[in-house]
Amino acid sequence: MKLDGNQEIYAINGVLTFWVKEGKSIPLLSYLMNHKLPYPRVKVDLGAVKFMSKGADVMRPGVTEIDKGILPGDVVLVEDPSHGRILSVGEVLYSSEDMDSMEKGKIIKCIHSLTDPIWAFSKSFK
């Protein structure tokens, strides 16, 4: 499907799968709920879970694990600490090495969460 602003959404077997925005392929939560994809991950602590689910940006103090090899601009999956569920999808602002050395500040900009219009549309998509 074509969207405004030269964006597209792709579906596989009736499930919204990827959103292409500004040349980046963003995996959608509707697909990630039942499928694992090889995107880098950042794990947050229990205190950050409710904020991530609501579309908050990721702040360094709430992060417990960071995959190696992440570069600024990469798309990453934000994962809960207990069950490995994906809470949101974000765009990284710093490399994994820089994030490891930071103690505070925003490190990931949220680009897809359970509160955005793409998620709402995916719930009614058939």
76-95 pLDDT, tens digit per residue, is 999 999 988 999 999 999 99
**Average pLDDT value over all residues in the chain:** 93
- How far separated are the first and last CA of the chain, in Å rounded? 13
Backbone phi and psi for residue 69, each to the nearest 5 degrees, phi listed first: 85, 10
- Residue 58 pLDDT: 97
In the numeric block, which tokens belong to residue 23? Answer: 């040349």
- Chain mean position to CA 112: 6
Query: At residue 68, what are phi and psi to the nearest 5 degrees?
Result: -75, 155
Beta bridge partners of 26: 19
Amino acid at 69: G
Residue 12, pLDDT > 80, answer yes
* Beta-strand relationship, 7-12 and 2-3: antiparallel
Domains in the chain: ranges and CATH:
2-124 (3.10.400.20)
Predicted structure pTM score = 0.92
